[in-house]
Amino acid sequence: MKHRLQFTAKKLVRMALLLLGVSLTAFLLMDASPLDPLQTNIGQAALGSMSPEQIARLEDYWGVNAPAAERYLGWLGDALRGDFGVSLLYRRPVPEVIGQRLSNSFWLLLTAWVLSGGLGLGLGLLAGAFRGRGPDKMIRGCCLVVSSTPAFWLALLLLMVFSVWLKVLPVGLSVPAGAAADSVTLAQRLRHALLPGLTLSVAGAAGIALHTREKVVDVLDSDYVLFARARGEGHILRRHVLRNVALPAITLQFASISEIIGGSVLVEKVFSYPGLGQAAVSAGLGGDMPLLMGITVATAFLVFGGNLAADLLYGIVDPRIRRGAAAG
């Protein structure tokens, strides 16, 4: 019990430090950005027709003149009190914008996460079991090609094949263009999420499959599999390989949360899918500091949560940790 508490306390401290570091880095990058928020959001022509007072008011609104340290500390102080500010672009509280965007992205991310994990594990097991032979070579070849392909390019390719040539799936957006919000059916939403979800799943699955395959090969070469064979055991794959691949698979699965979220930024942009990823791009390009900081911290929290979940699951799955912790 004491061990568990210590473990949790350590993790919490680490999380606080991580979020602090991530927010500071995001802020510094944003501050160093050459984009002028006024020019990007209001436009050169509109600025030219404004009076100096109006421009000064706008500069205040976008926080152009305040020193960087003051702005960061101001944001940090508010954030610690639970106030994440108001998005400059959307003019709504940041948590509200994130919540709405995340609910758009949520099913996309979840589907991609589950599919990439399942597909990756399955292909990895298959390749490992057939190592050196046809199926292994084919799976490895495909995975290497996919993992050396940028996700946004894969997205464009799928878009071209399924939306432009075959015309079976929509080109973009999360709902049909021009449809009233309450007339949109679940089927329509699914159709729109299919391509982005597929892109993310395929891109994620490749890495997981390659890692799983290596682990399967290690297990098949292990002493205990040799001994199992020497004892005439059948079902080696089910009895020994699956069991021992489970641990690294859990790690990979939860570590891939970060890749899925990172990938979603570009993929959502390609499909004009109004999710969290796209909001992050808009906030970054539009100089919307509070929103970008909010999104950065929220996604860092999600990624950290994923890794924490993997650590905790380890303690349940691995007898060495479970029993060791109970004894010590």
In three-state secondary structure terms, 93 is strand
Question: Does 318 contact another protein by CB under 8 A?
Answer: yes
> Residues binding another protein: what is the number (CB under 8 A)?
25
Cβ count within 10 A of residue 208? 27
Question: Looking at this protein, which amino acid is placed at residue 77?
Answer: G
Query: Contact letters (x/-) for another protein, 179-198, by CB under 8 A?
Result: --------------------
Query: Contact letters (x/-) for another protein, 34-73, by CB under 8 A?
Result: ----------------------------------------
Among residues 4 and 243, whose Cβ is nearest to another protein? 243
Q: How far is the CB of 145 from another protein (least distance, A)?
A: 23
CA distance 296 to 261: 11
Distances (CA, A) of 234 to 1, 228, 241: 39, 8, 12
Q: How far is the CB of 297 from another protein (least distance, A)?
A: 37
Among residues 140 and 269, whose Cβ is nearest to another protein? 140
Query: 192 and 107 in contact (C-beta within 8 Å)?
Result: no
Q: How far is the CB of 219 from another protein (least distance, A)?
A: 9
Helix (H) or strand (E) holding 79: helix 68-80
Residues 202-241 touching another protein, rule: CB under 8 A, are 221-224, 226-233, 235, 239-240
Q: How far is the CB of 311 from another protein (least distance, A)?
A: 18
Residues 103-132 touching another protein, rule: CB under 8 A, are 132
Residue 13, token pair as written in the block = 């401290």
Q: Can you point out the beta strands (E) in the chain?
A: none
First vs last C-alpha separation in the chain: 10
CA distance 198 to 151: 11
Q: How far is the CB of 322 from another protein (least distance, A)?
A: 9
Binding interface with another protein (CB under 8 A) = 132, 221-224, 226-233, 235, 239-240, 243-244, 246-247, 318-320, 323-324
